[in-house]
Structure 1
């Protein structure tokens, strides 16, 4: 693609996106090409949000603002482990979204990071009173990245369908509907928050087979909406769930995952009890108030 065309498209994308949540109109967006003192305006604070941006942000002059580094996962997909770990020691104020990342970064940087857990908006995600929860329906996220474990989840769902023919799966994701989906899997592409709330509210169970992930936001969203959670024991799940309020299986064990789904489908009353416990626990761990207080403390605003 010619450089001129690429830059024009980047400016258009910057103006239009993000679309997955309502960005406050007071926020000004800038399209820049490279992170340097010549492209970044002076300010009070600057935040690196990925491994790729950490080093250039750390090298900026002090006039660009206090430097923060938002760490949302152990980002090994494009960079070596040695390089990822080195970014934690660049002298910025490290921010993590989960307890397990806090321990990882603390051990590497020899300093406590700020913990700002991902939060769920209870004004958006709640059980819809006008939507009937169906005892045969399971909600899932479809994702193509290997670490999301959808291949394991799909195998588990096929096992469940063979033993529980009434199963209906409410899937959602950003890619187009894959050809491999049978007709008992409904699919919503690029679901809005309102569509997600409806999907969660009509489903008895939310099922997840993630291999590794820093947090996994769709899981507590579903719990806020009253789904009983069935998941693998990936590191992020412990941020909002426990074995007291969810059915958790070993990573990669699709048979165990299928068994847990079947257990809830065959006992909707138990599923409801588990969902109530899970909702209370997730709401206490992923509250907006906790996140806002942590943000205020990190950036020194709002009197915190």
Structure 2
């Protein structure tokens, strides 16, 4: 039985799309007899966000809380992990505190940087690349992590091209939709004029642009209903008429947001994939998105989505209004979108992921 360690750069108390993908893989690996450990860092030693006195104080507080087992319990409250999976939260992120094993998976640039020189008894190294993480570090440092001596998995063909441009080979294991969680439950042609959007504070999610777009749409269509969701408390900049869902459950995402939506709006500046877009598409919403990278694996302009330029409020508004005013176009995109996201199912992606883990013939994954 192979021992697998998946290393995360932080402990998340609220849902994270990238974490959820890997937690689901962990459950399937445990189901199939692998011994799985999830290691969460409680403050990375090479994280530039710790280089200010304020953030160092915040980290010290978090570490202190962990001594009381309040900050990071050995479980994940927002995701149902298999009972056989071991959760390890490290205050001191050094090699000796990692379990010995056969495979060690880095999940972000910080984790790849830290484990690249670990000894072989911690496992053969794999770098699971989920996005262009140059929002915190410069391109040269990021590319150095790609060029480290690890097997590379990327979640989209677009990411594979970014690595290939740096002469780095990788295997594509596409992200997926769990069809037990996200599906059409509300008839598409009976939906009212509802647009939904994720709000996130990080700049690469482009929520500042998204708010400008929905404000213009609300002015142009007074009858419109806007649904916004996120893990944080309601943002102050939201107009009073907007309904906001704080940290919604999967059921609420499906029933109260995606299945009520006529259109889903994604205004990111960078996406390795774009999970919420595919979730909304699986629930029958038409997608308007920026050309933000990984979305190109499923968002084909005028076929499965309308794709706008990054940071172009006018282009995004025009495309959303085109879908509002043209039901035939909207239904075409919805039907094609439903068909394309069905291809991204959990067992297909897991099979490719597990093939890399198992060290099977790499040619099988092309």
Q: TM-score, normalised by structure 1?
A: 0.91
Equivalent position to 2:237, from 180, 193, 201: 180
Q: Is 1:160 paired with 2:217?
A: yes
Trace 1:10-49 onto structure 2 (pairs within 5 A): 11-15=69-73, 18-49=76-107
Aligned residue number for residue 256 of structure 1: 315
Cα distance in structure 1, aligned partners of 2:188 and 2:313: 30
- Could you report, residue by residue, the CA deviation over 1:244-265 in whole angstroms, capped at 9, with x for unpaired residues? 1111111111111111111222
Q: Contact 2:74–2:89 at 8 Å: present in 1 too?
A: no
2:190 and 2:199 map into 1 onto residues whose CA distance is 21
* Cα distance in structure 1, aligned partners of 2:60 and 2:295: 42
Partner deviation per Cα, 1:159-204 (whole Å, 9 max, x = no partner):
1112111011011001111222223211000011111001100110
**Structure 1 residues 92 and 34: CA distance shift in structure 2, 3 A:** farther
Structure 2 gaps, min length 5: 1-56
How far, CA to CA, are the matches of 1:231 and 1:5 in structure 2?
36
**Displacement, 1:130?**
8.0
1:267 aligned residue: 326
How many positions carry a matched residue from both structures?
Answer: 302
**Alignment check: 8 A CA contact 2:116 2:149 kept:** yes
Find 1:54's aligned residue among 112, 116, 128.
112
- For the aligned residue pairs, the C-alpha RMSD in angstroms reads 2.3
Using the TM superposition, give the Cα deviation of residue 129 of structure 1 relative to its aligned residue in structure 2, in angstroms.
Answer: 4.2
Give the Cα separation in 1 of the matches to 2:61 and 2:286.
50
What is the SS of the residue equivalent to 1:30? strand
Q: Pick from 190, 193, 205: which aligns with 1:148?
A: 205
SS at match of 1:31: strand
> What's the secondary structure of 2:289's corresponding residue?
strand
1:279 maps to 338
**Paired position in structure 1 for 2:253:** 196
What are the ranges of 5 or more consecutive residues in structure 1 without an aligned counterpart?
A: none
- Distance in 1 between the 2:221 and 2:61 partners? 56
Give the drift of 1:33: 3.0
SS in 1 for 2:181: coil
Q: Deviations over 1:210-257 (max 9, x none)?
A: 111211110000000000001111112102110111111111111111
Aligned to 2:263, the other structure's residue is in SS state strand
- After the TM superposition, which of the residue ranges 122-131 and 218-227 deviates more from structure 2? 122-131
Q: Tell me how far 1:134 sits from its aligned partner.
A: 2.6
Partners of 2:74 and 2:314 in 1: CA distance: 43
Offset, 1:301: 7.6
Distance 1:4-1:73 versus aligned 2 partners, 3 A rule: closer
Question: Does the aligned pair in 1 maintain the 2:306–2:319 contact within 8 Å?
Answer: yes
**Which residue of the partner structure matches residue 354 of structure 2?**
296
